[in-house]
Amino acid sequence: MAGKRMSQETPVQLRPLAKRDLDVLINRVAAEVAAQFRNVERERIIYLGEEILAIPMDTRRFIYAMSRYMVFN
């Protein structure tokens, strides 16, 4: 039984992160994602009179970039 086995495992102790630590981590993730999509041509979108230059993202490349920093269960 999966539930029984999970209850026998020791709980993982997570250390609290300060706002500064979180900001550094978010900047690293953003830089990694930006690097993965650097050569992708932007798409021009007009929304409510505003011009938006959006970068289409390939899901596999995005998940690969994020997986270096996060755990996907």
Distance from C-alpha of 32 to C-alpha of 46, rounded to nearest angstrom: 27
What average pLDDT does range 10-27 have in this prediction?
Answer: 83
- The burial of 14, by beta-carbon neighbours within 10 Å (0-12 exposed, 13-18 middle, 19 or more buried), is given as exposed
Domain spans of the chain?
16-67
Degrees, nearest 5: CA angle 48-56-26: 95
pLDDT of residue 11: 77
Bigger pLDDT: 73 vs 15:
15
Tell me which residue has tokens 């505003």.
Answer: 50
pLDDT digits (tens, 9 = 90+) for 33-71: 788 778 878 788 888 888 887 777 777 777 777 777 666
Of 40, 30, 22, the C-alpha closest to 68 is 30
